[in-house]
Structure 1
Amino acid sequence: MKHPSELHVRSPFLFRSMAIGFALCMLAAGALGVYVLWTEIVPLYGRLYRNAPVVETPLKSFFVLAGIALTPLMIVACAIAAWTGQKFDPPKTSWLYGFQLRSLQLTLVMMACLAPAMIALTTATLSAKGYWSCPKLRISGSGWQMFWVNDERVCFTPDFYINDHWPCKRVGKKDICIQVDGR
């Protein structure tokens, strides 16, 4: 019979493989955060600036931005774990501990404070610029997505969507689509 301390010995190869795998997953999460920032958040404010007829606010995207703050810490932690074969647990007096603490604090602040504040400020700005919510434009099953319009003629129930969620209505044999990017 094995001694109880021998039952909890982990495989160094398995530990290092998991650290590398987790680093790759965190790299993907960070890349997703940058992608969402570039494709959904920045265009939102561009449309708002151009007074586009329709402005789409993907509310979940604001929370994905917190992944950008967490990614560097997790990459460093996983790299150290993969290199040394031990868990990442820096001493409290090291700069790595400070880096870990600040990264976690920044991530929590982004999720709990910054994302809700960005949503509230964006909503207030939309209202101040004369936009109102149009639930008819919402794509089925997209509860975290809102469409704001500044013209009552573009608030309709679309038959289909093209491009970047541009709503379209079929009138007779013609398809009429609203170009929502404001260009």
Structure 2
Amino acid sequence: MMTSTPPALTALSFRLRAGLTFLICAGVGIFAVYWLIAHVLPIYGQLWRRASAIEVPYLAFGLLMAPPIMLSCSLAAAYAFWTGKKFNPPKKSGLARFETSMIKTSVYVLVLLAPLIAVITTVALNTLNYTSCPQLRKSGSAWQTYWVIHPGFCFKPDSYTENDWPCKQVDGKTLCINMDE
């Protein structure tokens, strides 16, 4: 039986992989921050304004863990790209403490903070007399939940506007819920 050793990475190949890893980690981190700002933070503004309907994408709370781990990944990949060496800081160094703290932060956020924020959001919605409305949910979007402040806003939509507001045909007129108010 013949065994072969895997070819060693050349310096150029290592740096290219590190650069690609950096781009992926930075991209995922930026996307996670964007998604949180665009889809999670508005929930609390809508609660404050007492919007007629609020869309809560519960899976998006899991993205809270991404920024710390992606920052650590980006730092390690940038170091590897810049120096051509594997990121392996000494145990007591500031970089090692930073890397460890980012990993721990991500795990704690995913295991403790994200579920806690989702539960607190649900309790706040219930406290403010919102009720869950599964009829407003689009087909195939089981991870989104709509909450309405009045039972009349809970209906099976006939169509949606370009802003994804649900609409219903009533007496030849199209009535839509403004999800931003």
State the TM-score, normalized to the length of structure 1: 0.92
Deviation at 1:137, TM superposition (A): 0.4
Identity of aligned residues (%): 36
SS of residue paired to 1:88: coil
Does structure 2 retain, via aligned residues, the 8 Å contact 1:36–1:65? no
Q: Map of 1:141-152 to 2, 5 A cutoff?
A: 141-152=140-151
For residues 133 and 8 of structure 2, the distance between their equivalents in structure 1, rounded to whole angstroms, comes to 58
Partner AA of 1:43 in structure 2: P
Distance 1:4 1:160 in 2: 61
Instruction: Name the SS for the 2:51 alignment partner.
Output: coil
Distance 1:10 1:130, change over 3 A: same
Corresponding pairs, count: 180
What's the counterpart of residue 131 of structure 1?
130
* TM-superposed deviation, 1:132: 0.9
- Name 1:96's counterpart in structure 2: 95
> Residue type matched to 1:120 in 2?
V
Aligned positions of 1:98-113 closer than 5 A: 98-113=97-112
Aligned to 2:46: 47
Q: Which residue of 1 aligns with 2:32?
A: 33
Partner of 2:175, secondary structure, is strand
Question: TM-score scaled to structure 2, two decimals?
Answer: 0.93
Cα deviation digits, residues 51-90 of structure 1 (max 9, x gap) = 1110110011111121111222111100111122222111
Distance in 1 (CA, whole Å) between partners of 2:32 and 2:43 is: 15
Which letter maps to 1:181? D
1:162 and 1:61 map into 2 onto residues whose CA distance is 23
What residue is the counterpart of 1:162 in the other structure?
Answer: 161
CA–CA separation in structure 1 for the residues paired with 2:163 and 2:145: 14
Gaps of 5+ in 1: none
- Structure 2 SS opposite 1:65: helix
Instruction: State the distance in 2 between where 1:69 and 1:171 align.
Output: 49
